[in-house]
Amino acid sequence: MPTPGHATSPVSPSTCRSSAEYQLNFAPRQEAHNNKGPPSVRGWALVVPTHMTTRLLQKPTWLLPALRTVDFHYDDGHSRVRNPRLRDLGNLPRFFLDPSLSVKTRQTPCIAVVLVAHTINQWHSPDHPAGFLALNLALHGLVTLLLLNIFSSLLQSAGKEGVAPRAAFFCILFAIHSLQTEVVNYVSARSESLAALGILLAVLAFLRYRHSAEPVWLVALAAGQLFALGAKEVAVVTPVLLLSIQRFLPAGTASAARRANLMSALIVVPYLIAYQSFRGSTPSPLLRPVASQIATQKLVLCWQRTTDWKTKISLWEDAIRQAPAMAASHHNLAFAYHQQSRMELANRHYEEAIALEPEYTRPLTNLGILYRDSGQLERAEEVLLRAVRSAPALEPLNNLGLVYAAQHRPEQAVGVYQTALQADPGVAEVWFNLGLALRDAGSDYRHEIRVGRHRRSPR
């Protein structure tokens, strides 16, 4: 009877190279770039009872929403988890010179600052995302402080009174907005926080230079821009931003104040219209001033949105609620269920992903694994053959070979394993499975493995 081979775990939504890495759950780059995360939470009713605010403020954990989550997500797979270069502090200066130190070699040194931050985190807390997320929260706090300084400078330039409370109000809204849960709870989103940190430093230095004309602020401006470019390419917008400030907010002019009033009206008036339509004609003791309402809602939405990031399942369930036609979301949710052995739900969402994208290789592969593990070998073969036709990659080929081995068809398994090794000769599990299949087929498998060991390229 053929000996069972080394089974491949369900394929995570990322490109994996070894069985240990198949256990990780990260979205592929091609699926993440259009939808960096599940859409934001839709708005709640405008009136929030005061007692809800009191209960939230009594929970100290709302100040550390990042530490509520326990998983890495999305691009964390290639940028952090599967990047062994992060374990060596000696690589810090090389990140700025050698783009190959990123696992995705097409990346340029524009992510060097992010890799430095990952390396420092890896050195301090290598095995759990809590340390990474705490740094994300600290970066978000620094961005908020810079924004506070910038708002104060802009309001002063516009000749406004009561600068401090106005600037503080705007920054509080920014800090607790539900959209900010991504840059705190998603490790790789620190690239946006780091880029924002550099851009805002450049803007603040520009405003200081306009006021004092001291050359040191030009140095700070250049340093901030270089830092931002080292985090994310979006920092190329900084010069346009500075020119806009110079054009639309000239120092000491009355027109600047009028434009500031117009922009404030464009932001506040739609909210007031919605607020008034909800309020109606019946007064309510729960109604509070607009500023208090906005702050309360943002705090509640931030807390609510953070709970979606707590687990893989909660994250992808929310994504499907808001975008049910996204095949990648169904696959990622199915994979999360598969990891927890909730096979009926995993099966349902794998099939939903395939129905939305019939040539989607990863759910085809994982559905084949699910069928194989449940003993439905014919269905597993059918699905895995579809996956191989869609993309003859390592994972579907290896699992198809395991199905053939379980069906006592070692000769066909040998051919499939050999094709898999042509795609990637550096995976030991496939060589092991090939050896078992050659033995079951009665071939001189020791000779084949010895020759193959000389042929395969070093890892």
Q: Do 325 and 220 share a structural domain? A: no
Distance CA 449, CA 446 (A): 5
Distance CA 272, CA 234 (A): 33
Answer for the pair 300, 48: CB distance below 8 angstroms, yes or no.
yes
Q: Do 94 and 167 share a structural domain? A: yes
Decide if pLDDT at 353 tops 70.
yes
Task: Give the best-scoring range by mean pLDDT among 37-46, 80-89, 183-192, 376-385.
Answer: 376-385
Task: Give the best-scoring range by mean pLDDT among 251-260, 308-317, 357-366, 448-457.
Answer: 357-366
pTM for this entry: 0.47
The answer as to whether 78 is a domain residue is yes
Q: Do 321 and 302 share a structural domain? A: no
Q: Do 205 and 240 share a structural domain? A: yes
> Concatenated DSSP letters for 71-127?
---TTHIIIIIT-GGGG-GGGTGGGGT-GGGSSSTT--GGGHHHHHHHHHHHHH-TT
Whole-number Cα distances in Å, 285 to 150, 275, 296, 299: 37, 15, 16, 21
State percent of the chain over pLDDT 90: 22
Scan for tokens 């927890």, then name that residue.
340
Which pLDDT band holds residue 59 (cuts at 50, 70, 90)? very low
Task: Give the best-scoring range by mean pLDDT among 1-5, 293-297, 381-385.
Answer: 381-385
Decide if pLDDT at 17 tops 80.
no
Distance CA 245, CA 440 (A): 74
Decide if pLDDT at 92 tops 50.
yes
Q: Do 415 and 359 share a structural domain? A: yes
Q: Do 101 and 64 share a structural domain? A: yes
Answer for the pair 412, 431: CB distance below 8 angstroms, yes or no.
no
Answer for the pair 40, 369: CB distance below 8 angstroms, yes or no.
no
The answer as to whether 7 is a domain residue is no
Which pLDDT band holds residue 95 (cuts at 50, 70, 90)? low
Q: Do 329 and 210 share a structural domain? A: no
